[in-house]
Amino acid sequence: MSLLHLDSSANRSGESISRELTARYAERWRAAHPTAAYRYRDLAADPVPPVGTGYCTLGRRVERHGGIPLDRVAALAANADEGREWELSRPLIDELLAARTVLIGAPMYNLSVPVALKAWIDRVTFPGAYVDPDTGAPLLRDTRVVVLGARGGAYGPGTPQEGNDFHTPYLRAYFVRQGVAPEHLRFVNAELALADLSPALARFRPQAARSLADARTATDRAVTGGGVGTDGTAVVSRSR
């Protein structure tokens, strides 16, 4: 058992709902697995550098080889730039491969994920990293991914803004493409997080409070894998 805990909210003031939810999950998970390995990364406080030219050229060279073991990638680096890019990438890839559960705090920013999380995604998505080079089997097939987020408005199923949700569908598609089994994905989102701040959303404050309470309950249930629908999304308040 091991947990990789990633936060990506730019708000580190203590007001972040996604950080509150991930801390809640991590506390309960660690209490249930007191001897398990735990790794925390604050992607906002310690940003992952965006990928550069060396990452791209090295990745293309690996692609031409049709996928090779990660231990052989460094030998393919043709220059110092490619070597540096791989040195930045390999530890993050190893962390992801080593984790049995990946916990991600991912608030919705401008209809999608924070740039800090996207930079991590771009860097760990190295060609062939999550496929067994001998068998072609997905190395993340048994990895559990739990995404806890918050959205300023309401984007859940049945809401007027449902079609503008490029946040949860993106993360679901990304992790499935990396080989994570759909049944191992869990999503919990507290909606209407801006209702307490925006006068225009003031009438939705009761729904926002209910959605946050439901998200906390769903977070607790996600520790044991319960309380989700068939698509991995927790059943929380469908605020409109």
**Has 108 been labeled as part of a binding site?**
yes
239 annotated to a ligand binding site? no
Residue 2 counted as an annotated binding residue: no
Q: Is 13 annotated as a binding residue?
A: no
In order, the DSSP letters of the chain are -EEEEEE--S--SS--HHHHHHHHHHHHHHHHSTTSEEEEEETTTSPPPPP-HHHHHHHHHHHHTT---GGGTGGG--SHHHHHHHHHHHHHHHHHHH-SEEEEE---BTTB--HHHHHHHHHH--TTTTB-TTT--BTTTT-EEEEEEE-SS--STTSTTGGG--SHHHHHHHHHHTT--GGGEEEEEE--TTTTT-GGGGGGHHHHHHHHHHHHHHHHHHTTT-SB-TTSBB------
8 labeled binding residue: no
Q: Looking at this protein, which amino acid is placed at residue 176?
A: V
Residue 155 labelled as part of a binding site: no
The reply, when asked if residue 9 is annotated as ligand binding, is yes
**Burial label, 113 (beta-carbon count in 10 A; 0-12, 13-18, 19+):** buried
What's the angle, vertex CA 126, arms to CA 125 and CA 130, rounded to 5? 80
Annotation: binding site = 9, 16-18, 108-111
Annotation: binding site for FMN = 9, 16-18, 108-111
